[in-house]
Chain A
Amino acid sequence: MARSPKDGGAGDEVAVRNLEQLVASREIVVTCGSGGVGKTTSAAAIGAMAAAHLGGKVLVLTVDPAKRLASALGLEAFGNVETRVPPELFAAAGVAPRGELWAAMLDTKESWDGLVRTHAPDIATRDAILANPLYQNITGKFVQSHDYIAMERLYEIHTSGRFDLIVVDTPPTRNAIDFLEAPERMADFFSSRLLRWLIAPYRSRVLTAASKPFYSMADRILGSQFLQDIAEFFILFQTMYDGFVERARAVERTLEDRRTTFVVVSTLESAPVREAEFFIRALRERNFSLGAVVLNKVLPAYLLDDDGAEAARRLSTDPASIAALLPDDLGDPATLARVLREIGDSYLNYRVVAAREAEERAELAGAPDILCAAPFFDSDIHDLGGLLDLGATIWR
């Protein structure tokens, strides 16, 4: 009896065999990995491939404060507002896309302002929050606020239904899972007793015997004006408490939903691989959907060729005898020998690195079924054509 795909595998998910099938079955793809592994580029490449081959409206949302996606997409700049990648760029790359590619970069401050406008109970509160010096500091400089606002913005765009697929590039946080826990931490924070405690005296002006030492110490350390600024800020913010916490929970649910999948990006250098393994574990522990691992800048397999290694060794150890066997028109024997040695040495050097990479790949623990490798590219990716070329190496 033929089995339908539904009862064929684990759970009720249809088995997907490659990145294309994975992306086709999801609404949100979140790329994560350590810095410098090509995460942003991979996200853009996945988005470009989806727009080209799957169709629909695809948004690449980069939350990396380092503003990289613009150059990778050949756009001069784009901001907090979603911008369509000009269709001419696809034409220039010789591709007739089935869908549309859009891009947006997260402007943390602007996103926070938008959130305040949505949740503030009245105009006076809204303006007071926006003008509060602490608020301005937090939204402008406070690093962790990127994590939360990234997930919040993702949620906002997703629920708006404006896009069929959103590919999100996460902040290059060293504490890998920060962004996953950002909604939860934000909700915890706003519902914390400590916060109420801290704010209380500025509401009632009556200090209880129990809390007095706490405030006098806080006063000594931070100064009462600063404490008052903090209190004012949080009192104002508490007016948005319900909306905020509810929102944070909803963001969390979206990340856990099976319409969302995570793609871990890495190179085969040892530190990024350890980081990738950490991500893989963290995602599995939290029961998030781990869809694929993408390996970037992988050295070509011919560097591991045994015949090649033997040839390189001979070139490296006895270039003069080999040079003597070659036609004269290749130049003077001494220079030729130097070139031959250089070629042999270089191969052996790169072979060491390629062997290390192969080991890392074999040892990459807990990787999902979809494991794609993109090679080193001759030149940097600076246009849509380059992104599509990269995408093609990992797509199927």
Chain B
Amino acid sequence: MSPSADVPLLDRRLVFVTGKGGVGKTSVAAALGLLAAEHGRRTLVCEVDAKGNLADFFEAAPNRFKPQELAPGLFGMAMNTEESLKEYLSLQLRVPLIARVGPLARSFDFVASAAPGVKEILTVGKLCFEVRERHYDFVVVDAPATGHVVAQLAAPQAIRELVKVGLVRDQTGWMVEMLEDPAVTGTVLVSAPEEMPVTETIELAHRIRAETNVDLSAVIVNKVLPELFGRGEEEIFRALQEPAHAAALSAAVGHAVGPVLEGAQLAVTLRRSRAEHLTRLRAELPQGLPLLYLPYLFSRTHGVRTTRAVAEALSAELGY
């Protein structure tokens, strides 16, 4: 497989964004979509998780299966496998009576709940379809957290192995081709500099390489805390924490600085414990995989302004 760096992330057509809960996966997917749209690419962001909150990042009403415009040139939709099947049936089979599709699709959805890979294929199939039909220049997928994404990415190939004949088999061929072409499809893992997210990111990176032929394009480390002190400054901070100096500082400021010094100590400690996890992440990820860093945002809310701030940070990291 060619190295990921060969094709810049935003030059691809289909990008899966995944990561453990709580790392800010949706925020990164939203920002990536916004960035692409602001560069004039007609973009679709699709959330695959049930109960997703992607639209919140644009202060819009919840996404539905039918796309809505979240920002100029940026569309949002929520995956729904039943709707996806209905659309597929009406397009591919040209079922004469659309009215009959309703209950049939529901029945299939029921079977899909038990039969392996059916929901996954309906999800991935819809996404690949949007790319193939050139409805959008760029499709960002807010993919399910960690392990489940592997099942999704591997679904077309898995179905090909299970289903020997029939329309579904024919249909999976072009999907596999699209997913496995690194010029078209990429995956981005979002992580955070904490113990469990780092452990899971490393595991997932190796699983994607081992269990799928989909290109692993980058790891984005989110919520990186700022370094407070440079060389020589930390000693000054230590000295300020001594009772005599702290008292002198309180007198100079005119207010008790105890909480402020404690707060700075907390910031130093949090930053330090996170730095260890970053070191481990760098050491244990597959060689040559690009790592991008996004700062922790000390903001009050999570609306469209925050999304723009993340997009700007991402833009600087991607050089785009």
Contacts and interface: CB of A to CB of B under 8 A. Distances in A.
B117 A347 contact: no
Contacts of A308: 255-260, 263
A326 B237 CA distance: 13
A65 interface: yes
A161 to B, nearest CB: 32
Chain B interface, >50% SS class: helix
Nearest to A380: B195
Contacts, number: 225
A376 B50 CA distance: 29
How many chain B residues sit at the interface, stated as a range, is 35 or more
Contacts of A56: none
Interface stretch (A4-12, A46-54, A137-145, A238-246): A137-145
Contacts of A336: 236
Contacts of B245: 326-327, 330
B266 A300 contact: yes
B51 A339 contact: no
A352 B299 contact: yes
A144 B117 CA distance: 12
How many chain A residues sit at the interface, stated as a range, is 35 or more
B116 A175 contact: no
Contacts of A350: 263, 266-267, 298
Nearest to A65: B147
Nearest to A193: B107
B237 A343 contact: yes
A382 B267 CA distance: 21
B243 interface: no
B23 interface: yes
Contact of B53 (A226, A271, A315, A342): A271
A267 B226 CA distance: 21
Given A217-B93, A356-B300, A339 B237 contact: yes
B185 interface: no
A225 B298 contact: no
Contacts of B239: 329-331
A378 B265 CA distance: 10
Contacts of A303: 259, 263
Contacts of B23: 36
Contact of A144 (B113, B165, B259): B113
A141 B116 contact: yes
Interface string B1-35: 00000000000000000001111000000000000
Given A326-B252, A327-B248, A347-B260, A222 B240 contact: no
Given A34-B22, A36-B23, A134-B116, A376 B266 contact: yes
A28 interface: no
Contacts of B300: 352, 355-356
B315 to A, nearest CB: 22
Interface in A158-195: 172, 174-176, 185, 189, 192, 194
Contacts of B229: 339, 342
A326 B253 CA distance: 10
B163 A192 contact: no
B114 A353 contact: no
A37 interface: yes
Contact of B163 (A66, A226, A353): A226
A134 B115 contact: yes
B215 to A, nearest CB: 22
B116 A311 contact: no
B110 A192 contact: yes
A174 B162 contact: no
A349 B271 CA distance: 14
B49 A35 contact: no
B148 interface: yes
A142 B112 CA distance: 10
A221 B167 contact: yes
Interface in B136-183: 144-148, 151, 158, 162-169
A307 B259 CA distance: 8
A368 interface: no
A105 B264 CA distance: 39
A224 B163 CA distance: 9
Interface of A: 34-37, 65-66, 68, 71, 133-134, 137-138, 141-144, 172, 174-176, 185, 189, 192, 194, 198, 214, 217, 219-226, 229-230, 267, 269-272, 274-275, 278, 299-300, 302-303, 305, 307-308, 310-312, 314-315, 322, 325-327, 329-331, 335-336, 338-340, 342-344, 346-347, 349-353, 355-356, 376, 378-380, 382
Given A66-B20, A322-B253, 18 more contacts: A35-B145, A36-B20, A144-B113, A174-B51, A217-B104, A225-B163, A226-B168, A311-B254, A311-B256, A311-B257, A314-B255, A315-B253, A335-B233, A340-B249, A344-B260, A347-B263, A350-B267, A376-B270
6 contacts: A35-B21, A66-B146, A174-B52, A221-B168, A230-B111, A352-B299
